[in-house]
Structure 1
Amino acid sequence: MDHSDLLWATPTDLHQTSTDSLRELAVSSLTLARQIMQYTREGIAVMDARGRVVGVNPAFCRLSELDAGDIEGCHITNINHDLHERRYYRQIWRRLQRQGHWQGEVQHHTRQGRLATHWLMLHLHRDHRGRVSHIIGILDDISRLKQSEDRLSYLAHHDVLTGTANRTFLLSWFGKVKAALEEEEQLALLFIDLDRFKPINDSFGHGVGDQVLKALAARLLAQVDDNELVARIGGDEFVMVWRGRLGTPQLIRKAEQLLEQLEAPVLVGEYELSVGASIGVSLYPEHGLEIETLLRYADTAMYEAKTFSSAKVCLFDRAQFTRLEQQHRLAGEFRQAIERQQLFLEYQPKLELCSNRLLSLEALLRWRHPELGVLYPDRFLPAAKDAGLLCRLADWVFTEAARQYRCWQQQGCWQGRVSINLSGLELEQHRAGQLLELLRRQGVSPSHFILELRSDFIMRRSESLLGALETFRAAGMAVYLDNVGEGRLSFSKLRQLPIDGIKIDRSLLSDHFDSLDQSVIRSLLLLSQTLGIEVVACGVETAEQMQFLRQHGCSSVQGQLLAAPMTAGQLELFYRDGLDRIRH
C-alpha cells in the first residue's frame, strides 16, 4: 500500500500498518493538505469548536480582503459583523449542530465600497469521541454569478430597448402593489397606444423608430414614482399604473397632460417627429380586481378614445365593453354571414334636380343577422376587419351589384348608374384591377358604376390609393367623395384628386338646418362649380331643403323625401309606380 492509498485508508486498514508508517502518513497528509490550501481558488478557514479562526489560506485572505494576522484568533462572525445580525449566526450554529453542515450566501463591503457576495460552506469535524473539534469553512466568490443572475432577471422582466417593465413583470408587480394599497387608494391603469408611430417607423427606418420609442418611454417613466410602473406590452403600446386617491376629473386631467407631453415633437438627428397617442383608463377596484380584466377594459377604452373621442382620453364604461364584446361576436360569425348568404344590398335612388330624373342608385350593404335583425355597416364593418374579411367583402359587393345590374338590364327595368360605396373597406392599387375584373365577369361595363369613398379616407391615404382611383376612372367608373362636411377635407388637395363629384354629408342637412349649415353648403357648392365636379346632397328630408339646394345649384339629391333605401324587388315597384310622384 503506497502513501496515496494510505491517504484514503479506513481505520481498519490503518491498524494493519506499522506505527512508523502511520506517523509518516500523518506528516505527509498534513503537508499535502497545507499545499492544497495554499493553491486552491476557494478560501479555506479552519476554526476551533467555538468558531475562532485557527488558520486560513491565501485565497480566504484575498476574498475577505483581510490579512491572516487580522483573522486568526478572531471569531468568524467578526468578518461580516456590519452586514449580518447575531440572530443570523445563531440560526447557522443551530443548523450546524443539527445537521453537521451549512451553506448559504454571506456578504461584506470591499475596500472600494462594493458589496461582494460569497458562498460559504461550513462543516463540523468531530474527533473519535464524537465531539466537535474543528469547523471547516470553504468560501467562494459568487459576485459575478450574482451580477449575471441579476442581469438575467432584469432582462426577463424588462424591455431591453426602453428600460420599462415588460408584461411578465407587470402581472407579478400588480398583484403585490394592490395588496399594499391603503384605505381609499386606487390604481389607475392607463393603456397608451401611439397614434402615428408606424408611419414614422416605415418612412424613417427602425433605427429612428427605436429612438422615438426610447424618448417617449423616458417621458412616461418621468411621470411615475417608486410605487407606480410603466410597462411596454407591444410594439407601440405601453401601460402606466398610477396609485393614489385621485378623483375621476383629476385623473382625466392628469392623463390629458400626459397626452400633451407625448404630442411634443421628438428630435432624432435632423428629424423633428410628432407621434401623439390615445389613452384608455380602467380603475382598480372599481372596474375589476384582476390585472387581465383591467387590461382588457383599458384597451376597450383606448379603442373608444382613438375611434370616437376628440380628446383622445377615455375612461372605461360598461357600454363600451358591451359594444366591443358584440363586435368580437360578430367577427366570429361574419364568415358564415357570407357563406350563408345573409348579406344583401339595398338601393337608394338619387334625383337629378335639373331634369327631375332618377339617374343613379346607391348600393348599400346590409347584414340580415338571424338573431339581431338587419345590421348596418357601422355595426359590422369593424367585425369584418377583425375577421380579416374586408377584401372578400369588397369582392362580394362588386359581384352582387354587377349581378343585379345585369338582371335589371335584361328586364329593361334600370338603365342608370349604380354607386358602390367602399367606405371602410380596403382599397389599394393592386385591388383595382381585381375589382374591375369582377364587373366584367358579370357582363357589365365599369362605366355603369360609380365608386364612393369617404373623404377623410382618401385624404390620409397613400399614392397607392390615388393610383387605384386613376385605374377605376380610366376604366370608365366615376369616383365620388362621400361624407364631405363631416370628415377631414383639405381644399388644396381636393383640386389634385382624381374625382368626379362629392356627396354632402347628411349632418349638414340636420333638423334645424340653420344659417351655419346653409353657409357651409353654399361654400361647397361654389367650390364644386369652380372645380367642375358634381354634387350630391344626402339626407334631404324636407321641401325647404330641396328648394334651397335647387336654388344654389346642387346637382342631385338623395334622402327620405325622395325614397328610403329598398331591396331590388321594392325598387322595381318604385320605379314603375313612384316615379311620377317624385317628378311632381
Structure 2
Amino acid sequence: MDYSNLLWTTPVDWHRVSTDCLRELAASSLTLVREVMQYTREGIVVMDARGRVVGVNPAFCRLCELEAADIEGCHITNLNQDLHERRYYRQIWHQLQRQGYWQGEVQHHNRQGALATHWLTLHLVRDNQSRVGHIIGILDDISRLRQSEERLSYLAHHDALTGTANRTFLLSWFDKVKTALEQDEQLALLFIDLDRFKPINDSFGHGVGDEVLRVLAARLQTQIDANELVARIGGDEFVMIWRRPVTETALMARAEQLLTRLKAPMQVAGYELSVGASIGISFYPEQGLELDTLLRYADTAMYEAKTYSNTRVCLFDRGQFARLELQQRLAGEFLQAIECQQLFLEYQPTLALDSNRWLSLEALLRWRHPELGVLYPEQFLPAAGAAGLLLRLADWVFTDAVRQVRHWQQQDDWQGRVSINLNGLELEQQRSGHWLALLQHQEVSPGSFILELRSDFMMRRSESLQGVLSRFRTAGMAVYLDNVGAAGRFNFGKLRQLPIDGIKIDRSLLSDQFDTLDQSVIRSLLLLSRSLDIEAVACGVETEEQVQFLHRYGCEAVQGRLLAPPMSPEELGRACCHGPDGSRH
C-alpha cells in the first residue's frame, strides 16, 4: 500500500488510517531517520533526560575519536570533563530548561593532544505532558574555521615579513596595557631606526634585505618579556615598549645592550652583514598619554641620537620638546615668510691665503622672523621640509642671488663668483632648465655661480642628479662638494666619479681641539684635491694657528669669521671697493 500521499496531506484524517498503516508508517520513518543519521556530515547524539547517551551516529564517533560502544551509556559530560567545571554544565542545563535549546563552542583533546573545536546545538524533546523525554545534540567541526579566523586576525595585527606586531596591534595593545599599570609604573617607548640597512638592501637585493629584517626582528623579540612588545611600523623602523619602573641609568644600560645585540654580525645568503641602529626614547605617562604623541617624541629623540649622540641612544627631554614645538610653528608660518619677504641672503667671502684676495662669495640664507628675530637654516629648514616648500625655497634662493649678482655687476661692485649652498634644499631635473632660463633672462653668465651640495646628498643620489649637475657645468657653473670630511659623509672611492670642481672641507675638522687626527684628515683631503686637480676650501677658520697650518700644507682658499664674517649686500658692496688687502675686487 502506498502511504506517500498521507505524508503531504494537510490535515490528515488519522481516524481513517488503520493501526497497521500507522505502524508501517512509523517503522518507515524510523528507518529513514536512521539512514539520515548514518550518512550526515554532522555528528548526532541522542541522550535520555539525564544526559546519558542512548545513541550516536558515525559522524559523532569520528569527531570525538571514540567508538560508539565507548560512548553509549555514558554521561555526555564525560567526553570532555577535563576541560570544564561542573558550573559550566549547570549553566547549559539551566538554559535548556528555560529556552528548550542551547548552542555554543565545545572542545576536546584529540589523539594528538591538540584541542579540537566543535559547535554543539542541544534541543529538548518533550512528551505530551511536557516532560523531557530526550535531548538531541548536533555536533559540527569548526576547527578549520577557527584556524582561518585566527590566521586572518594574526595577519591583520602582525607584520607579514617579520612576525612582529604592526601599527594596528601596537595601538590596541597600548590602550589595554596602560590601563593595567600600577600607580608607580611607567612605559618606555623606544623608536628604533636601523643604520646602514639601505646600502645592504640596494647592494644585495630585497631578498637579502628582507632576511636581514627578519633576523633583526628575532633579536628584538629576545629583548622583551611577556608584558612588553615589539612592532614594525616602517621599512626599517621598529618600536619597542618596555614595561617596568626603571631608573634612567638602568634604562640606558638596557638600551645599549640592545644596540650591541643588533650590531652583532649575521650570516645571510653567504654574506656576513652588520647593521647598527639609533634609538630615541619617550615615557608614558610623564611625557604623553597618547601613543601618537609618544611616537612623535621618540622619533624626535631618535633623530637627535642619529645626528648628535655618540652613544646612538637619546632620551626625549623638554629641550627637544621646545624644538619640536618651534618646528611645528615655523612649518605653519614658512609660506608667509616667503610671501612677506622675510627671507634674505647674507654673503661670506672665501679668501685666497696667498694674496688675501676674495675668490668668491657664499650666499647664506636667513629668516628675519617678526617675533623670534633672525633664524638660521639649521633652525628652519626642517620646517620648510615639513611644509613641502623646499623646492620653492631653492627657487627663491637662486632667484634672489641672480638678482643681486646682476645688480653688483651693473654697479661694478663685484665681478667674481657667488656660491649657492643647496644643503637641505631640493634640486630636481626640471630645475636646470628653469634656472638657466632665468640666468639668460637676467643676462647673467652661469659662470658667475658655484653650486654647493652636501657630500652625503650627492653620493647617495642617482645618475639623474649627476646629469643635472653635468648640464650646469656644461653651461659654465662650477659644482662644489660641501661638508667633506664630516663623520659618515664621505666616500673617497666615489669622489673621482662625481662631476665636481672643488671640495669644501667641513668646519668640524677645524674644531676647538684641532687635534692630530683632524689635522691628518685635512692633509689627506688637500693632497687628494691636488691629485684630482680640483679646488679645496677650508671652512670655519677661526684661529691664526689654523691659518698657519692650512698655509703650510698648501690650502689655497679659506673661509671663516676670523677672516671675513657674513655681510649684508650693502655692507659687502662697500667692502668690495676696498677689500681686506686694500685692493678693489
Deviations 1:514-558 (A, max 9, x none): 675995697369637844554544445567766776676553444
SS at match of 1:286: coil
Corresponding residue for residue 115 of structure 2: 115
Shift of 1:255: 1.5
Mapped partners of 1:529, 1:101: distance in 2 = 90
TM-score of the pair, normalised by structure 2: 0.88
Q: Which amino acid aligns with 1:276?
A: G
1:396 match:
396
Aligned equivalents of 2:514, 2:230: Cα separation in 1: 49
Structure 2: distance between partners of 1:429 and 1:266: 39
Deviation per CA, 1:18-56: give whole Å up to 9, x if none: 343444433332222222222211111111222122222
Q: Separation in 2 of the partners of 1:524 and 1:53?
A: 93
TM-superposed deviation, 1:191? 1.3
What is the CA deviation profile of residues 53-109 of structure 1, one whole-angstrom value per residue up to 9, with x for unaligned ones? 222222222222222222222221112112121111000000001111100111111
Report the CA distance between 1:2 and its aligned residue.
7.8
Q: Which residue of 2 aligns with 1:139?
A: 139
Aligned partner of 1:567: which letter? Answer: S
CA contact (8 A) 1:528 1:534 kept: no
Give the aligned partner of residue 18 of structure 1: 17
After TM superposition, the structure 1 stretch with the greater mean CA deviation from structure 2, 435-444 or 487-496, is 487-496
Could you tell me which residue of structure 1 aligns to residue 369 of structure 2?
369
Alignment partner, residue 387 of structure 2:
387
Give, as a single letter, the amino acid of the residue that structure 2 aligns with 1:228.
E
TM-score (norm 1): 0.88
Select between 232-241 and 95-104 the one with higher mean Cα deviation.
Answer: 232-241
Structure 2 CA distance for aligned equivalents of residues 145 and 519 of structure 1: 70
Does structure 2 conserve the Cα–Cα contact (< 8 Å) formed by 1:398 and 1:439? no
Using the alignment, how far apart are the partners of 2:221 and 2:281 within structure 1?
Answer: 17
Counterpart-to-counterpart distance in 1, 2:284 and 2:439: 54
Percent identity (aligned): 72
Distance 2:293 2:147 in 1: 36
Q: Distance in 1 between matches of 2:541 and 2:50?
A: 102
SS at 1:382's partner residue?
helix
Q: Unpaired segments of 5 or more residues in structure 1?
A: none
SS of aligned partner of 2:311 = coil
Offset, 1:120:
0.8
Unaligned runs of 5+ in 2: none
> Aligned equivalents of 2:325 and 2:472: distance in 1?
37
- Supply the distance in 2 between the matched residues of 1:60 and 1:142 (Cα, whole angstroms): 14
1:183-582 alignment runs, 5 A limit: 184-427=184-427, 432=432, 435-458=435-458, 465=465, 468-484=468-484, 486-487=486-487, 488-489=489-490, 499-507=500-508, 519=519, 523=523, 527=527, 530-531=530-531, 533-540=534-541, 554-576=555-577, 579=579
Q: 1:6 to 1:74 in 2, by over 3 A?
A: farther
**d(CA) in 2 for partners of 1:283, 1:9:** 77
Q: 1:7 Cα deviation (Å)? A: 4.4
Counterpart residue identity of residue 103, structure 1: Q
Tell me if structure 2 keeps the 8 A contact 1:525–1:552.
no
State the number of aligned residues: 581
Task: Indicate conservation of the 8 Å contact 2:164/2:217, yes or no.
Answer: yes
Q: Partners of 2:147 and 2:526 in 1: how far apart? A: 73
1:114-153 alpha-carbon deviations (Å, 9 max, x no partner)? 3211111011111112222211111111111111112112
Q: Structure 1 counterpart of 2:17, which letter?
A: S
Higher mean alpha-carbon deviation, 408-417 vs 516-525, is at 516-525
Write the letter of the residue equivalent to 1:100: G
Q: Is the 8 A contact 1:352 1:557 kept in 2?
A: yes
Partner of 2:47: 47
* Contact map agreement 2:502 2:529 (CA 8 A) in 1: no
1:329 counterpart letter in structure 2:
R
Partners of 1:14 and 1:173 in 2: CA distance: 67
Any idea what SS the aligned residue of 1:242 has?
A: strand
> Does the aligned pair in 1 maintain the 2:523–2:553 contact within 8 Å?
no
